[in-house]
Amino acid sequence: MRFKGLLAAVLLVFASASVALAQSDCTKIVPPSPWGPNDETGATNRVTPAVTKAAAAEIQEGKVVPMSWILKDGIPLFGTRFTKTILTATSLAAGGAFGENELTYMEDTWLSQSHVGTHLDGMGHIGRKDCYFNQIAMGKYINQNYITKLGLEHLKSFATRGVLVDAVRVFQAAGKLKSNPACRKPCLDKGTVITAADIQAGLKMYNVTLREGDIVVVHTGWGDLFDQFPAQNATFNSGEPGIGKDAAKWLISQKVVAVGADQWAVEVIPGEDPKEAFIVHNLLITDNGIHILENVRTDLIAEEAARTHRGTFFFNMTVPRAYGLTGNFVGIDGIR
Amino acid sequence: MAGLAGEATGVERRFTIAFANLTEEPGVLLEGTGFTGREVRESFALAARAYPVDLVFYDNHNDAHRALANAEDAIARKVDLYIQYFRDSAVNAEIARKLRGADIPVLAVNYPVPGAPLYTADNSAAGRVGGEALGRFGSGAWKGQPVVAVLIGPLGAQADRIPERAQGVVEGLKSHLPTATVTRIDTRGDPAQVATLLGRFLAANPGRKILVAAMDDTTALAAKSVLEASGRLADGAIVSHGVDRSIHGGMSDHKEIDPSNRGSIVIGSVAFYLDRYGYDVLPLALQLLRGEPVPPRTATHHKLITAANVFIEYPPYDMQ
**Contact assessment for residue A5 and residue A11, using Cβ atoms and an 8 Å cutoff:** no
Q: Which among A79, A193, A274 has the least Cβ separation from residue B252?
A: A79
262-281 in chain B: CB under 8 A from chain A: 276, 279
Chain A residues with beta carbon closer than 8 angstroms to that of B314: 274
Q: Which residues of B touch A239 (CB under 8 A)?
A: 317
Main-chain phi, psi angles of B297, to 5 degrees: -140, 125
Across the interface, which of B50, B250, B316 has its CB nearest the CB of A272?
Answer: B50
Q: What is the pLDDT of residue A8?
A: 46
Taking all residues of chain B, what is their mean pLDDT, rounded to a whole number? Answer: 94
Q: How much is the ipTM here?
A: 0.85
What pLDDT does residue A13 have? 42
Whether B84 and B103 share a structural domain = yes
**A281 CB near a chain B CB, below 8 Å?**
no
Residues of A with Cβ-Cβ distance to B45 under 8 angstroms = 191
Helix axes B37-48, B277-289, angle to 10 degrees: 50
E strand or H helix at B221? helix B217-229
Cα-Cα-Cα-Cα dihedral sign, residues B130, B134, B140, B143 = negative
* Chain A nearest-CA residue for B47: A272
- Do B136 and B71 lie in one domain? The reply is no
Closest C-alpha among B250, B265, B267, B252 to residue B307 = B267
CA separation for the pair B319, A77 (Å, rounded): 9
Sheet holding A119-121, edge to edge: A64-66, A331-335, A312-318, A160-166, A215-219, A258-261, A291-294, A119-121, A327-329
Same domain flag for B206 and B67? no
Residue A2 has pLDDT above 80, yes or no: no
Residues of A in contact with B319 (CB under 8 A): 78-79
Task: Please tell me the predicted confidence (pLDDT) of residue A108.
Answer: 95
Instruction: Determine the Cα–Cα distance for residues A157 and A45; give it in Å rounded to an integer.
Output: 9
Q: B318 at the A interface (CB within 8 A)? A: yes
A26-70+116-335 under CATH 3.40.50.300, yes or no:
no
Say whether both B200 and B259 belong to one domain: yes
pLDDT for the residue numbered A332: 98
Closest CB from B252, B276, B320 relative to A264 = B320
Query: How much is the mean pLDDT over chain A?
Result: 93
Residue A149: count of CB within 10 angstroms of its CB: 18
**Calpha distance A9→A295 (Å, rounded):** 49
Q: How many CB atoms lie within 10 A of CB A267?
A: 29
With beta carbons under 8 A apart, name residues in chain B contacting A276: 315
CATH number, domain of B44, equals 3.40.50.2300
B146 shares its domain with B159: yes
Q: Are the Cβ atoms of B318 and A237 closer than 8 angstroms?
A: yes
Predicted local distance difference test score (pLDDT) of residue B11: 67
pLDDT in tens, B209-218: 999 999 999 9
Residues of B in contact with A269 (CB under 8 A): 317
| Residue B310 located in a structural domain | no
A75 touches chain B (CB under 8 A): no
Residues 6+ apart with CB under 8 A from A16: none
Q: What is the pLDDT of residue A78?
A: 75
> Is B302 among the domain residues?
no
Residues on chain A touching B252 (C-beta within 8 angstroms): 78-80
Q: Assess if residue B318 is contained within a domain.
A: no
Residues B105-114: tens digit of each pLDDT? 999 999 999 9
Q: Is the pLDDT of residue A285 over 60?
A: yes
Q: Answer whether residue B2 shows pLDDT above 50.
A: no
Positive or negative torsion for Cα B25, A270, B83, A195: positive
Q: What string of H, E and C letters represents the secondary structure of chain A?
A: CHHHHHHHHHHHHHHHHHHHHCCCCHHHCCCCCCCCCCCCCHHHHHCCHHHHHHHHCCCCCCCEEECECCCCCCCCCCCCCCEEEEEECHHHCCCCCECCCCECCCEEEEEECCCCCCEEECCCCCCECCEEHHHEEHHHHECCCCECCCCHHHCCCCCEEEEEEEHHHHHHHCCCCCCCCCCCCCCCCCCCEECHHHHHHHHHHCCCCCCCCCEEEEECCCHHHHHCCCCCHHHHHCCECEECHHHHHHHHHCCCCEEEECCCCCECECCCCCCCCCHHHHHHHHHHCCEEEECECCHHHHHHHHHHCCCEEEEEEECCCCCCCCEEECEEEEEC
- What was the pLDDT predicted at A3? 40
Strand order in the sheet with B181-186: B181-186, B147-153, B209-214, B236-242, B266-271, B304-305
Domain membership of residue B317 (yes or no) is: no
From residue A333, alpha-carbon distances to A173, A315, A336 in Å are: 28, 6, 10
Q: Quick check: B62 and B27 in contact, CB under 8 A? A: no
Phi/psi class of residue B103: alpha, beta or left (left: φ > 0; alpha: ψ in -120 to 50)?
left
pLDDT recorded at residue A243:
98
A273, A281, A291: best to mutate for the B interface, most B CBs within 10 A: A273
Contact B252 A193 (CB under 8 A): no
Interface with chain A: mutation pick from B43, B311, B320, highest number of A CBs within 10 Å: B320
Whole-angstrom Cα distance, residue A306 to residue A308?
6
* Maximum distance among all Cα pairs of chain B, rounded to whole angstroms: 74
Identify whether residues B185 and B115 lie together within a single domain: no
Give the separation between CA A321 and CA A332, rounded to whole angstroms. Answer: 15
CB B289 within 8 Å of CB B244 = no
- Chain segment A8-57, per-residue pLDDT in tens: 444 444 444 444 445 789 999 999 999 999 999 999 999 999 999 999 99
In whole angstroms, what is the distance from residue B251 CA to residue B225 CA?
Answer: 23
How distant is the Cα of B216 from the closest Cα of chain A, in angstroms?
22
Average pLDDT over residues B175-179: 95
CA A88, A94, A99, A100 torsion-angle sign = positive
Quick one: which H or E segment has residue B150? strand B147-153
Same domain, residue pair B134 and B95: no
A277/B317 Cβ within 8 A: yes
**Residue B268 and residue B220 in contact, taking contact as beta carbons nearer than 8 Å:** no
Higher pLDDT, A333 or B252: A333
CB nearest A278 (choices: B50, B250, B317): B317
Distance spanning both ends of chain A, measured CA to CA = 76
Under an 8 A CB cutoff, do A79 and B315 touch?
no
- Spatial distance between the Cα atoms of A158 and A149, rounded to a whole number of angstroms: 20
> What local confidence, expressed as pLDDT, does residue B319 receive?
62
Is A191 touching B (CB cutoff 8 A)? yes
Please say if the pLDDT value at position B22 is more than 60. yes
Residue type present at position A166: D
Question: What pLDDT is attached to residue B10?
Answer: 59
> By the 8 A CB rule, do B21 and B40 touch?
yes
| Boundaries of every domain in chain A | 26-70+116-335, 82-114
Partners of B181 in the β-ladder: B148
Whole-angstrom distance, CA of residue B300 vs CA of residue B126: 9
In whole angstroms, give the CA distance from residue B52 to residue B80. 12
pLDDT in tens, A69-79: 999 989 998 77
Gap between the Cα atoms of A197 and A207, Å rounded: 15
Measured CA to CA, the distance from residue A229 to residue B216 in angstroms comes to 38
Mean pLDDT of A156-173: 98
A:B CB pairs within 8 Å: 43
Q: How many CA atoms lie within 13 Å of A243's alpha carbon, on the beta-carbon side? A: 34
List Cα–Cα distances, A95 to A92, A100, A107, A123, B302, in angstroms. 8, 12, 18, 49, 72
B32: left (phi over 0), alpha (psi -120 to 50) or beta: left
| A108 in contact with B, Cβ within 8 Å | no
Residues in B touching A271 (Cβ below 8 Å): 317
Average pLDDT rounded to a whole number, residues B117-121: 98
Cα A23 from Cα A19, distance rounded (Å): 9
Q: Compute the distance between CA of residue B22 and CA of residue B8 in angstroms, rounded to an integer.
A: 37
Q: Could you tell me if residue B97 is inside a domain?
A: yes
Q: How far apart are CA B230 and CA B225, in angstroms?
A: 8
Best mutation target among A178, A235, A278, A296 (most B Cβ atoms within 10 Å) is A278
> Is the distance from CB of B185 to CB of B177 less than 8 angstroms?
no
Q: State whether A80 and B312 contact (CB < 8 Å).
A: no
Number of structural domains chain B divides into: 2
Q: Give a yes or no: residue B311 inside a domain.
A: no
Are the C-beta atoms of A260 and A296 separated by less than 8 Å? yes
Name the residue among A80, A115, A276 with its Cβ closest to that of B252.
A80
Dihedral angle sign, alpha carbons of residues B306, B312, B318, B320: positive
Enclosing domain of residue B262: 123-271
**What is the rounded CA–CA span in Å between residue B242 and residue B34?**
7
pLDDT at A81: 81
Residues of B in contact with A191 (CB under 8 A): 45-46, 49
Residue of B nearest to A267 (CA): B320
A82 contacts in chain B (CB < 8 Å)? none
pLDDT of residue A6: 42
Instruction: Examine the domain organization and report whether B31 and B95 are in the same domain.
Output: yes
Three-state DSSP state, B314: coil
On whether residue B307 sits in a domain, the answer given is no
pLDDT of residue A19: 44
pLDDT tens for residues A86-104? 999 999 999 999 999 999 9
Percentage of chain B surpassing pLDDT 90? 92
CB-nearest partner of A193 from B49, B251, B316: B49
Closest to B315 (Cβ–Cβ): which among A80, A239, A276? A276
Peptide bond just before A270 cis, omega within 30 deg:
yes
- Among A79, A115, A274, whose Cβ lies nearest the Cβ of B276? A274
Give the DSSP H or E segment for B224: helix B217-229
